Amino acid sequence: MSFSDPAQRAAELRSLLHEHAHRYYVLDEPEIPDAEYDRLFQELQAIEAAHPELLSPDSPTQRVLGQVLAGFSPVTHTVAMLSIRTETDTEASGALAFDARVRKELDWGPEQPPVEYAAELKFDGLAINLRYEHGILVQAATRGDGYTGEDVTQNIRTIGQIPLRLRGPFNGGSAPSVLEVRGEVYMRRDAFDTLNERQRSRGEKTFVNPRNAAAGAVRQLDPRIAAQRPLSFYAYGIGDVQDWSVPDTHSTLLDALATMGMPVCTDRTVALGATGLLAFYEAIRARRDALPFDIDGIVYKVNSRALQQRMGFVSREPRWAVAHKYPAQEQVTRLLGIDVQVGRTGKLTPVAKLEPVFVGGTTVSNATLHNEDEARRKDVRVGDSVIVRRAGDVIPEVVGRVPSQSVDETSRGPVFDLFDQLGGQCPACGSAIVREEGEVDWRCSGGLYCPAQRKQAILHFASRRAMDIEGLGDKLVDQLVGEGDEKALIHTLADLYNLRAEQLSNLDRMGGRSADNLIAALENSKQTTLGRFLFSLGIRHVGETTAKDLAKHFGSLDRLMNASADELLQVHDVGPVVAHSLHTFFDQPHNREVIAQLRVAGITWQESDGAAASTGPQPLASTTWVLTGTLPTLSRDQAKEIIEAAGGKVTGSVSKKTNFVLAGSEAGSKLEKAKELGITVMDEAEFLRHCANPGDDAIGFEGQRASGI
């Protein structure tokens, strides 16, 4: 884009940036994603660099942004909370350029050794200053404009992770008279999803991303509401300090803060030179989606505090630190249309068709709009500029639209109306669509008559955690199910087991070899467990865990199918909703028929007498396990199955309740946490030995159990 009059464009950009910064910092209601803001910011920077005469003191590039909100008392920071420079350059050059600048600044020639850096995650939340006096938390403040922030002590105190009192021992004897700890308040993705799910089910406004949800919670005037929004915190630096000798390096400073009880992220490293920085950048990039929270990049800091002091600051940024960003997880694109997809249980989901856009590391052209109410709340219409978010492994979603002043409201597309758009009929089978009272979703009433539902049901049945039929993928199922017509090879799940290789090899992209493989995979799947079989039936509200619990409790399918509501409610984690869903499912003659056909086709499992009878040897009974890293021979699912079969439980994170950690190679923070808490760690060989013979365990398993674990 080129603009003939740079002065005019600069003025326009300034007012745009002021407006967006106000929305973002003051109102917590941003209209555009960060990447878009960064682009405008950089465009202004470029104009100002080319035309220094246009630089004015009120330019957003010349000061730290944000104002004090009405409602909270202002706090003047004793030590300013500055920002850091961002490298948005191509991947390698971010680290290379920073390292080169540092060496130049320090006047280090090529003969000098590589600079030692501390590299850590750039958490995507909001900066907070925690002021501890004599070890007690006396104040928490937001960054504000960097010099004056807001007093949010009440809300910050509700974050369980933040210590109200620092833990000793302290170097120098007693707690420092003043220690300001700086870090990021953020919301984990799972907490964010749960929060939005709750908002959605109550018909309330959803949050755009975890950062906005966290910022909103911190700025809640009512601390009781803030307390219901689960926030987390990581410390990454310090502000004012009195009577404490600060460690010599940034990395040992963070170690010291961790010792005092501050949450410090274990995903950090000390890196040598640009190569070391890049290695960390790449390693974290590979795991970015798997992290439980959003990050937008890596922060590189010169490790030696003496060197940091020597380098100092330039305008609002330290010369010794830089943020190296990853591709943005939110982008703006155009909404081309809204399709409706039919899910496994008939749920109709509006799906946004988008002009393809690169976001969160992949090109996205479809994104969910969740349901009709939500599409309307977000007021997205065909032709609008919308914000797409793709973070972690979750499916991309449209989080809102970018209102544009130049668009005439009357010329926008119509409000999305799912019923009207579909003419009241399921797009896959033409059956009537229904929305029951109190439900947010429209559903197709066609059940397994509907080819779309049938297709999803088959894909679920064949999935890894269900019957685990390898090779039964999306395109193949499409062909097997067809349009639901006479020619379809499959009408019910049981038909899968009547397929013959000759029929399969006639299909598109199916050679004789793959046809034989699929027949073999089907044959293999017949020997299963009751839990897997139940899960594979795709009964509403019966997930993998509930299916296992039901199998364990009843031990036999017939006993489960004939169970009364009261009997069902006795199963761990089964409430009225699940009980009702089970009854509805087993009440339908059609479902009973398919189950009977599947059994005739040869599907079998080991039945037992259920919870009433002894379940056989349970060497791992009442123990809780956490799996981490890659095991040499077992997959995670296999290890989990072994533990559960032996009566143990597997959870996702290490806590005081964890009894054992089974660790493979490249185990990360969970392993460190386990060591910190003194939890027994086993490798695969020890684990297998232990399961086979827990009695003569060298690590003293019996001893631990005797001591009450």
Closest to 381 measured CA to CA, from 352, 408, 355, 415? 415
By beta-carbon proximity to ligand IVH, the closer residue of 128 and 663 is 128
| Contact window for ligand IVH (CB under 6 A) among 27-35, 81-89, 561-569, 610-618 | 81-89
| Contact window for ligand IVH (CB under 6 A) among 101-109, 121-129, 595-603, 682-690 | 121-129
- Residue 127 interacts with ligand IVH (CB under 6 A)? yes
| Contact window for ligand IVH (CB under 6 A) among 120-128, 439-447, 451-459, 517-525 | 120-128
Question: Residue 641 and residue 528: Cα distance in Å, rounded?
Answer: 13
Enter the tokens of residue 217. 């919670």
Sheet containing strand 116-123, strands side by side: 85-87, 321-325, 295-302, 116-123, 268-272
Closest to 494 measured CA to CA, from 600, 641, 628? 600
Which residue spans within 374-526 are E strands per DSSP? 385-389, 397-401, 433-434, 442-444
Closest to 322 measured CA to CA, from 287, 297, 357? 297
Question: Residue 252 and residue 241: Cα distance in Å, rounded?
Answer: 16
By beta-carbon proximity to ligand IVH, the closer residue of 257 and 639 is 257
For the CB of residue 29, give the shortest distance to ligand IVH in the complex, in Å: 18
For the CB of residue 18, give the shortest distance to ligand IVH in the complex, in Å: 19
| Enclosing H/E stretch for 355 | strand 347-359
Tell which one of 34, 36, 87, 120 touches ligand IVH (CB under 6 A). 120
The question of whether 353 is a catalytic residue gets the answer no
By beta-carbon proximity to ligand IVH, the closer residue of 65 and 631 is 65
Count of residues in the chain: 709
- Residue 184 interacts with ligand IVH (CB under 6 A)? yes
- Residue 122 interacts with ligand IVH (CB under 6 A)? yes
By beta-carbon proximity to ligand IVH, the closer residue of 120 and 180 is 120
| Contact window for ligand IVH (CB under 6 A) among 122-130, 188-196, 250-258, 699-707 | 122-130
- Residue 549 interacts with ligand IVH (CB under 6 A)? no
Within 5-61, residue ranges assigned H as helices are 6-21, 34-50
Tell which one of 83, 341, 528, 669 touches ligand IVH (CB under 6 A). 83
By beta-carbon proximity to ligand IVH, the closer residue of 123 and 687 is 123
Residues 235-254 that bind ligand IVH (CB under 6 A): 236-237
Question: Residue 350 and residue 478: Cα distance in Å, rounded?
Answer: 21
CA 70, distance to chain mean position in Å, is 33
For the CB of residue 119, give the shortest distance to ligand IVH in the complex, in Å: 9
Residues 84-113 that bind ligand IVH (CB under 6 A): 84
Which residue in the shown chain puts its C-beta closest to ligand IVH?
A: 127
Residues in CB range of 217: below 8 A, 6 or more apart: 155, 187, 225, 226, 229, 231
One symbol per residue from 280 to 309: x for binding ligand IVH (CB under 6 A), - otherwise; what is it? -------------------x----------
Angle of helix 576-587 relative to helix 589-600, nearest 10 degrees, comes to 70
| Contact window for ligand IVH (CB under 6 A) among 27-35, 45-53, 103-111, 116-124 | 116-124
DSSP type of residue 447: G
Residue whose structure tokens are 């797409």: 388
For the CB of residue 362, give the shortest distance to ligand IVH in the complex, in Å: 24
# chain residues binding ligand IVH, by CB under 6 A: 14
Closest to 625 measured CA to CA, from 645, 610, 601? 645
Within 497-562, residue ranges assigned H as helices are 501-505, 512-525, 530-536, 544-554, 557-561
- Residue 66 interacts with ligand IVH (CB under 6 A)? no
- Decide: 123 and 234 in contact? Cβ < 8 Å: yes
For the CB of residue 84, give the shortest distance to ligand IVH in the complex, in Å: 4
Catalytic residue IDs: 122
What residues line the site for ligand IVH (CB under 6 A)? 82-84, 120-123, 127, 184, 236-237, 299, 318, 321
